[in-house]
Chains A and B, each alone.
Chain A
Amino acid sequence: MRDVSVIGIGQTKVGEHWTTSLRHLAWEAIHAALADAGTEAVEAVYVGNMLAGALSRQQHLGALIVDFAGLRGVEAVTVEAADASGGAALRQAVLAVRSGAAEVVLVVGVEKVTDMVGASGTTAQVAAADADHEAVHGVTSAALGALLMRRYMHENGVELADMAGFSVNAHANAVGNPYAMFRRPLKASSFVKGSMVADPVNLFDSAPAGDGAAAVVLCPTEMAKDMVPSPVRVAASSLVTDAPALHDRADPLVLAAANTAAGRAYHAAGVVPGDIDLLELHDSFTVFAALQLEAAGFAQRGEGWTLAKNGDIGPQGRIPISTCGGLKARGDVGGGTGVYQAVEVVQQLRGAAGDCQVPNARRGMTLNVGGSGGTAVVHILESIE
């Protein structure tokens, strides 16, 4: 198998883009990534998206987006794995280059949530859950997070205020990210006062959905060295599934898919959790951040929350997370999230993350989770010596 590297990245600001359509957002990210890579010779495009069918009444994004982006005729297809669509699309692109099926491949993750207003966004998001056995009972994504959070607090003796550090860190980091949705700090004292979404998950615990697109260009590492000054190697890529319904998992407080995906990635890259300089995880709710730190081997079961409380997750901490704001403050871009995570890690490894820069970042990991844990995608990226 061939070694694969990232040679170009692009992203739009995350937010409410009332005047910009889904295809336009995707094009902006693609345009930026191709300019960054210095090539337009793309052989295949993988689109990560979750909600366009429900919220924009638009499927067939592969053909739509490449046509709009001036790439008509190029192989293109959508990859769907709920909120993990972006990471799953990135993995398909990695496989295409590794296998030799293509040389230069582009991934774009895009979500457009403001085409419909009202409860339609909440309704579309919960399609990631089991429609017949979860959604029919009126659960929402936030409610699934809340069911996990209440049990997590109960089993581990955690108070709501103990979780504040995750949101506070995400917001503090987003201040330095010009692409973030909410570039303002959050006080720990405000965290517990957020209006309730699904008890005990409140507004400051849950990530805001935003429009946005991010793109990554990949090619064989051998080729990459001649194309750009600082390519970033894909050291590992893994995707693992679990039961999509929370109630069907033997122990809901263990994100088994994330655990296995991280384990496979560490093995493939020949590293251990202590070798990871930063982690972009899927912090759609604070409890997910805690559970993913545990699943990825940065904390024992039931102790993920202590990393936030002890300041271990800040840019100078033991394992910096959500370094550009994470889902909580950069914004939750649904099926685009996994590609944003990769763009952010590449920025860090290039030393180009500006005010969000983690000192001496050489190796970063992304953990993109679909639904309440039914899909987990992990990528480990490394700067080339």
Chain B
Amino acid sequence: MELPRHWRLQNQRYGLVGEVCDQCGVKLFPPRDVCPSCAEPAHEQYTFSGRGQVYSHSTVYSAPAGYEEYAPYTVALVKLDEGPMLTAQLTDLGDQEPEIGMPVEMVTRRLRAEGEQGMIVYGYKFRPVMSQGS
């Protein structure tokens, strides 16, 4: 069981909470405390809107241990409206084929479960934007 490592990340996993660099103002997700652009400390928290676009995507057929039961599933690089890119699964696609440039929004979903007795790991996934301007 890897409880501490997931618990430690709850703010970013559930709330998409990242950081703003004190010095150059660049927005960071995942939070990393040291700005990769200017190497200055980034302490101020910033909550992302959860809106973005698909930069690239792939449907995984050969899954790693712990994810076999979910295969095939679609992973993506999502470019957030505020700048940074992250890796996440796409969900709620229905009949829609994922596409580069597709507008998506963040939802909280189950990432994996560690057996019947084990921990359930929740976190962000992204779905096609349901309605404009909501």
A binds B: yes
- By beta carbon, the residue of chain A nearest B101 is A154
Q: Does A254 contact B (CB under 8 A)?
A: no
Given contacts A123-B65, A247-B85, 19 further A-B contacts (CB under 8 A): A122-B62, A130-B87, A135-B64, A136-B111, A136-B112, A137-B89, A137-B123, A138-B75, A138-B89, A140-B60, A142-B62, A151-B56, A151-B77, A154-B56, A196-B59, A198-B62, A201-B58, A245-B87, A252-B55
Majority secondary structure of chain B interface residues (helix, strand, loop or mixed): strand
Q: Does B51 contact A (CB under 8 A)?
A: no
By a CB distance below 8 angstroms, the chain A residues around B63 are 119, 122, 138, 140
Q: Tell me the bound Cα distance from A381 to B36 in angstroms.
A: 34
Contact status of A137 and B111, CB under 8 A, knowing A123-B65, A247-B77, A252-B77: yes
Contact status of A147 and B65, CB under 8 A, knowing A138-B73, A243-B36: no
7 A-B residue pairings within 8 Å (CB atoms): A123-B64, A140-B60, A198-B58, A198-B60, A200-B58, A245-B87, A252-B55
A338 nearest CB across to chain B (Å): 24
For chain B, the bracket of interface size reads 20 to 34
Q: Tell me the bound Cα distance from A247 to B73 in angstroms.
A: 19
Interface residues of A, CB < 8 Å — how many? 38
Q: Does A353 contact B (CB under 8 A)?
A: no
Give B47-78 as 1s and 0s: 1 = Cβ < 8 Å from A's Cβ atoms. 00000000111111111111110100101110
Q: Tell me the bound Cα distance from A201 to B56 in angstroms.
A: 13
A235 nearest CB across to chain B (Å): 33
Q: Does A89 contact B (CB under 8 A)?
A: no
Contact status of A147 and B58, CB under 8 A, knowing A119-B68, A139-B75: yes
B100 and A151: CB pair below 8 A? yes
By a CB distance below 8 angstroms, the chain A residues around B88 are 137
Q: Does A143 contact B (CB under 8 A)?
A: yes
Q: Tell me the bound Cα distance from A201 to B55 in angstroms.
A: 17
- By beta carbon, the residue of chain A nearest B74 is A199
A240 nearest CB across to chain B (Å): 16
